[in-house]
Amino acid sequence: MALPDTTPAAIAAASNPAFVPIPSADRVFSFRDHMALWFSLGVGLLVMQIGAFLGTALGTQTALFAILVGSSVGAALLAWVAYIGFERGLSSPVLMCQTLGTSFAKLPVIMNVIQLIGWSAFELVVMRDGTSALVKNITGIDAVWVTYLTALFWGLLLVALATGSMIGLVRKFVGRFGLPLVILSLIWLTWQFFMKAQAQGLDAIWNRAGDGSMSTLAGIDLVMAMPVSWLPLVADFARYGKAGTSTFRGTWLGFAIANIWCHALGVLIVSTTTPGADLMATLLLAQGGLIALGLILIDEMDNAYGDVYSGSVALNFLHGKFSVRFWGIGLALLATGCALILPMHGLEPFLLLLSSVFVPLFGVVISQLAMHGRASDKAVNTVPVVIWLIGIAVFHICPVFWPQVGSALPSLTATLILGTIYRVAQRPALQSA
């Protein structure tokens, strides 16, 4: 009679099915699927607003340089974690466990669920406000009940999406329907504002100087904030990839192109409009802006769904008695309730504070698990935990004493370097074991 498998990995898999890698038969995402998903997730009104801010602060040429560098580096980090998720066939919560320890990692997993509920509600608020602006533009109605009705509409749509299959949504809706429409809307808006720039004089806009309120490095750091904010989620999708190369390239190219395009469009918009103009109103005033903004708002639903799906994966990991679908419906309903009653702009600093803990965390994850790194089987993996805490401290200290260097870039650098040093130092002990 064969003896039972008592390895740490087997024990973990027996106690929680989330530790079992996705089987090959379920790995269906191709390069096109990854690229479509991450291009769609990279498009957003918030990204355009950040681009407009960069254009004002840095000037056109420096802003575009920061956008190219920040998007390329940030998307590469996102793709790197995606490759680790594919390689191991595991979700983000399990990658945290393999890095920080099976017991201690539950803390960041819970924190991730909280931030994902907040960001899901925030996305609903973005869609609520955008739709209210569309209703006002079309009908002239500007009433409080419109705000509640639009929030409820998008929230119930999110609940409906949560009842379906994530794989089906990505492959059928995003890839075949949503992506072509959002690309057409971006092309149209880019053309409209480029023609406006040409009429005003391209040389003047190209040589437009910034107000000096931000350094180039801080600008790069701000652009990186968008792709690295998806680090706690990317493995949940990447584990369904067919091949490592297509997973890495699709994630990197998809998000980098969308991030560069939307940021650059924000720079173009702010360069051709009156200072202080509202982005939503400016888009509506563009020829065909009503349709283009509507399509972008529909695309925002992908972001909310991505948050809800990853939150449900994390809750299923913490409490496997209920399915991912069950948790997804619950989170979508909760996010809808938050979007209806909570002052989301007041919650934004809290959400950004929660997000700051995951930037250094995934610097540690990359340093420990990349290139077939050894997963920890400890309850608390002390040194990586300490490195993570150091990274959080760096994230918050740098803006206070060295605002010109930003926060995400130095935090990631610190955790990657310290984590790599620890991993190299562990090799002799592992080889002798």
pLDDT by residue (tens digit) across 283-293?
777 767 677 77
What is the rounded distance in angstroms from the CA atom of residue 390 to the CA atom of residue 388? Answer: 5
User: Which of 296, 267, 240 has its CA nearest to residue 40?
Assistant: 296
CB burial string 220-230: b at 16+ within 10 A, e below? bbbbbbbbbbb
Exposed, middle or buried by CB within 10 Å (0-12, 13-18, 19+), for 348? Answer: middle
- Taking CA atoms, 346 is separated from 43, 48, 352, 354, in Å, by 24, 21, 11, 14
Q: What residues have CB less than 8 Å from 206, skipping those under 6 apart?
A: 60, 61
Q: What is the pLDDT of residue 353?
A: 73
Token pair recorded at residue 9: 């990995």
pLDDT in tens, 304-321: 899 999 999 999 999 888
pTM, to two decimals: 0.90
- What the block records as the tokens of 148 is 């509640």
Residues 156 and 163: their CA atoms lie apart, in Å, by 11
CB 167 within 8 A of CB 310: no
Q: What is the predicted pLDDT for the residue at 3?
A: 39
**Can you tell me the distance from the alpha carbon of 276 to that of 86, in angstroms, rounded to the nearest whole number?**
44
Phi, psi of 59 (to 5 degrees): 90, 165
Distance CA 48, CA 265 (A): 6
Can you read off the two tokens belonging to residue 359? 């930037």
Reading the chain (433 residues) residue by residue, the pLDDT tens digits are: 443 444 444 455 556 778 899 999 899 999 999 999 999 999 888 888 899 999 999 999 999 999 999 999 999 999 999 999 999 999 999 999 999 999 999 999 999 999 899 889 988 988 888 888 888 878 888 888 888 899 999 999 999 999 988 888 887 777 777 788 888 889 988 998 898 899 988 998 999 998 888 899 999 999 998 898 899 999 999 999 999 999 999 999 999 999 999 999 999 998 988 777 777 777 777 767 677 777 777 778 888 899 999 999 999 999 888 899 999 999 999 999 988 887 656 666 666 677 788 889 999 999 999 888 888 888 999 999 999 999 999 999 998 888 888 888 899 999 999 999 999 888 665 555 4
What pLDDT is stored for residue 346 in this prediction? 60
Domain ranges, ordered by start, for the chain: 27-427
- Which residues, including other chains, have CB under 8 Å from residue 263's CB and lie 6 or more apart? 47, 48, 50, 51, 54, 63, 67, 71, 223
Helix (H) or strand (E) holding 374: none
CA–CA separation, 397 vs 399, rounded Å?
6
**For residues 192 and 268, what is the distance between their CA atoms, to the nearest angstrom?**
10
CATH topology of domain 27-427: Hydantoin permease (1.10.4160)
How far are the Cα atoms of 82, 312, 313 from residue 322, in angstroms, in the given order? 26, 10, 11
59 beta partners: 209
